Amino acid sequence: MSWEVSTMPSKRSFCNLTLLRKNLARFWPLWGGAALAGALLPLWLLLNLSKYGAGHVDGVEFAHALYTVAVRVAPAVCFVYAILCAMMVWSYLFSPRAVGLMHALPIDRTCLFLTNALSGLAMLLIPYATTGTLVCLIALCWGFLHIGAALETAALIILISLIFFGMATFCAMITGNAFAMPAFYLLLNFLFPALEMLVGSISQLFLVGVTSQYMGTLECLSPLLMLYSGMDTYVEDGAAVLLGAPVAAAYGLVGIALLAASFVIYRLRRSECAGDVVAFRWLRPVFRYGVALAFALTLGWFLYEIIWDSLFQRGSYADFVPMAVCMAFTGVIGYYVASMLLEKSLRVFRRSWPGVLTVCAGVVILCGCMRFDVLGMESRVPRQEDVAQVTVSYGGRDITADAGDAGIVSKVLALHKAVASDADYIRDRERYEANGYLHLRYYDSDGDTLLYRSYRLPVSEERMETPGTYEYLLRQLLLDPQVMLSQVELPRGSQILEASVDDYGTGSYANCSEQEAQAIYQAILQDAGEGNLYGIETIRSGQGYPAAVHIRAIVDDGYDVDNQSIYLELAPTMTHTMDALLDAGLLSAEAVAAWDRELGGTAYGTVSA
């Protein structure tokens, strides 16, 4: 008897339809509930159309509505919904019994990963597809469907879904703990902007002029924030315009790359890591030192504020050694907390001294880099050719200069350099001698903030007479008639409507007629031309009278009517303006005399008497 053995070529399956259907059937409450909630939108639209008709709706308005949903609603919804879908399809990775069962099935890991990934994406997109289909059918029946906008919106939502599901899947691959996965997901989305804010906040405790104002330098590493800041929609020239589609496309490609990286990690992942906070041993040091850094930057700063700053700190700026000690102490606590989570035990102190020393050394180095300005943040002054516009604010006086006002911009940069070079002088005297706030903001050609600095300056009359000091340069800038005129001159063709005075001390408000307002405006121009808008006392103390004059005007260029205004705080040196305000009855001699007494009886009070 002869035996014949027949062989059949095996087929490689990349998607198991049985498992796909099982996933969709098992988790139907998630995507079914989301689809039901989404169906409320077309129901609301149908009821409104049935009641009011479609006379007020056209294709442009429909397209703008679709874009608005994609730009304003979809990122936040996908951000939350993607992590829920990912937690469902990858839930077996967090249980030793479940992962053992799944990996014992006659399905290799490639097929298993692709099937579960498709299941998650399907659950993520089904509610959008249901809602979008119903809305488009209603729009088609009522005659305002915009096919191009519908396709663009669908593509945009798919791209947004890819980035957030890719991030959620990547987090599922690097952890074996169901509670750690959403925490890692939040960190992956907001880690770098949060670090920027924390480092900026702590840097302002050491560096003169540096503020904690969020500049968004690392915002591109946060998809949710970047999608909201990089996308927009509006209607122009009878058409709906969508901005930022390339941003969504770039993040969609990043989502595909994260899914590919997750596939590689999944192939290398051990089943025994189910339940672990970190699924790979090489990630454990990253987790330990990352948690230590987070504790140092947050709890260390808080500990310094409640213990040292409130009781022992003498100046306005942080003391390096106490801050380093507080940050090192809390960093070590974070290191041990991370170790306990990784080892699932409280016995983590033995042989931990190398890690503790590493944390302490790293925190001291980081704190030292901020204190001694290794990156040059304190001394940074932009180049004049990079500045498209600069605004200066001091003592209620605002100065704005464009690149065309090269002389003014150069004076502002010279002042900024002088202030930055005197940082140690300001640091030593700022808390007890500062009497004026200087704010500098530079803009680039795109209108974005190039640099922002805020200083609390000690200003002395002696240094005002010393060339090269920042007080001298500040005085030269503020007393420059060209600067003054540039801030109070209204555009040609302006029609002055009224003038008013706001008294901060009493809260009173008074206005006058158009003719009197014109006289007050001419008096302001005369004071500006003579360099009288800011006096020495105003520069030294950073304040003038507790009142301001407000002139309102309109400009009609034949195409549009634009509102213009001047809001100027009063100073004793503004003699012409004060005379005009007194003549118009907006001020009383008694009030001015009282202000003069508060300022030491200087300047205008003796004249007006």
**One domain, residues 158 and 59:** yes
Residue 368 has pLDDT above 50, yes or no: yes
Q: What is the pLDDT of residue 1?
A: 43
Note whether 333 and 431 are same-domain residues: no
Q: Domain ends where: 419, 454, 478?
A: 478
Among the listed ranges 89-98, 340-349, 509-518, which one has the minimum average pLDDT value? Answer: 509-518
- Whether the pLDDT of residue 150 is over 90: the answer is yes
pLDDT tops 60 at residue 543: no
3-state SS, residue 398: strand
Q: Is 275 left (phi over 0), alpha (psi -120 to 50) or beta?
A: left
**Tens digit of each residue's pLDDT (9 = 90 or more) over 218-238:** 888 899 999 999 899 988 888
561: helix, strand or coil: strand
Is 359:335 a contact under the CB 8 Å cutoff? yes
- Token pair, residue 338, equals 């991370």
Res 5 pLDDT > 50: no
Alpha carbons 488 and 570: distance in angstroms, whole number: 13
Q: Are 408 and 484 in contact (CB under 8 A)?
A: no
Residue 564 lies in a domain: yes
Tell me, yes or no, whether 522 and 466 share the same domain: no
- Would you say residue 604 has pLDDT above 70? no
Could you give the angle at the alpha carbon of 540 between the alpha carbons of 538 and 545, nearest 5°? 25
What pLDDT, on the 0 to 100 scale, is given for residue 534?
67
The mean-pLDDT minimum among 198-212, 333-347, 538-552 falls in 538-552
Question: Is residue 464 located within the same domain as residue 541?
Answer: no
What pLDDT is attached to residue 2?
47
Are 273 and 286 within one domain?
Answer: no
Q: Among all chains, which residue has been given the structure tokens 């974070």?
A: 334
Q: Sorting pLDDT into bands at 50, 70 and 90, what band is 68? A: very high
Report residue 414's pLDDT band, with 50, 70 and 90 as the boundaries.
very high
Length of the chain: 609
Spell out the residues 6+ positions from residue 88 whose beta carbon is closer than 8 angstroms to its own.
Answer: 23, 27, 30, 120, 123
CB 61 within 8 A of CB 146: no
Within a domain: 207: no
Query: In sequence order, which residues have a C-beta less than 8 Å from that of residue 210 and are 6 or more positions away?
Result: 200, 203, 204, 377, 378, 453
Confidence of residue 3 (pLDDT cuts 50, 70, 90): very low
Q: Which residue has the higher pLDDT, 491 or 390?
A: 390
Contact 291, 338 (CB under 8 A): yes
Q: What is the mean pLDDT of residues 548-576?
A: 78
Q: Is residue 601 assigned to a domain?
A: yes
Query: What's residue 277's pLDDT?
Result: 92
Both 420 and 511 in one domain: the answer is no
How much is the average pLDDT of 398-405? Answer: 83
In this structure, what DSSP letter does residue 489 have?
P
Round to whole Å and give the CA distance between 472 and 255.
Answer: 55
Share of the chain above pLDDT 70, in %: 91
pLDDT at 509: 65
328/448: higher pLDDT: 328
So what's the pLDDT on residue 448?
83
Average pLDDT of the chain, as a whole number: 86
Does residue 505 sit in the same domain as residue 570?
Answer: yes
Q: Is 7 domain-assigned?
A: no
pLDDT of residue 167: 97
Under the phi-then-psi rule, with left for phi > 0, alpha for psi from -120 to 50, and beta for the rest, what region is 140?
alpha
Does residue 432 share a domain with residue 306? no
| 225 and 97 inside one domain | yes
What is the rounded CA–CA span in Å between residue 213 and residue 230? 20
* Number of domains observed in the structure of the chain: 4
Average pLDDT over residues 399-406: 84
Residues 571, 574, 579, 582, Cα dihedral to 10°: -20
Domain finish residue from 350, 371, 392: 371
353 in a structural domain: yes
pLDDT value of position 158: 96
Please state the rounded mean pLDDT for residues 45-53: 81
153 & 105 share domain: yes
Do 224 and 341 lie in one domain? The reply is no
Q: Quote the pLDDT of residue 609.
A: 35
The better pLDDT of the pair 124, 478 is held by 124
For residue 590, what pLDDT is reported?
83
Which strand (E) or helix (H) includes residue 21? helix 17-26
Long-range contacts of 192-195 (CB under 8 A, 24+ apart): 192/218, 192/221, 192/222, 193/218, 193/219, 193/221, 193/222, 193/225, 195/297
Phi-psi region for residue 317, left (φ > 0), alpha (ψ -120 to 50) or beta?
beta
Q: Provide the percentage of residues in the chain whose pLDDT is more than 90.
A: 42
Question: Three-state SS across 193-213?
Answer: HHHHHHHHHHHHHHCCCCCCC
Residue 458 scores a pLDDT above 90: no
Residue 605 has pLDDT above 60, yes or no: no
Assess if residue 209 is contained within a domain: no
Q: What pairing do the DSSP bridges indicate for beta strands 389-394 and 547-556?
A: unpaired
Evaluate whether 123 touches 26 at the Cβ level (below 8 Å).
Answer: no
Lowest mean pLDDT among 215-224, 349-358, 507-516: 507-516
> Which amino acid is residue 452, in one-letter code?
Y
In a domain, residue 108? The reply is yes
Last residue of a domain, one of 446, 478, 510: 478
| Same domain, yes or no: 223 and 170 | yes
CB-based contacts of 75, cutoff 8 Å, min separation 6: 160, 223, 224, 227, 228, 231
Residue 215 reports pLDDT greater than 50: yes
Residue 40 confidence (pLDDT) above 50: yes
Task: Decide if 242 is inside a domain.
Answer: yes
Burial class from Cβ neighbours inside 10 Å (0-12, 13-18, 19+) for residue 52 reads: exposed
Write down the pLDDT at residue 600.
Answer: 66
Please compute the mean of the pLDDT values over residues 148-163 and round it to a whole number. 95
- What is the pLDDT at residue 382? 92
Cα separation values, 515 from 37, 210, 488, 547, Å: 62, 46, 18, 22
At 248-295, the pLDDT tens digits run: 999 999 999 999 999 999 999 998 888 899 999 999 999 999 999 999
* pLDDT value at 603 more than 70: no
pLDDT at residue number 538: 56
Which range marks the domain in which residue 436 is found?
384-478
Structure tokens at 303: 């500990």
Over residues 297-320, mean pLDDT: 86
pLDDT for the residue 175 = 93
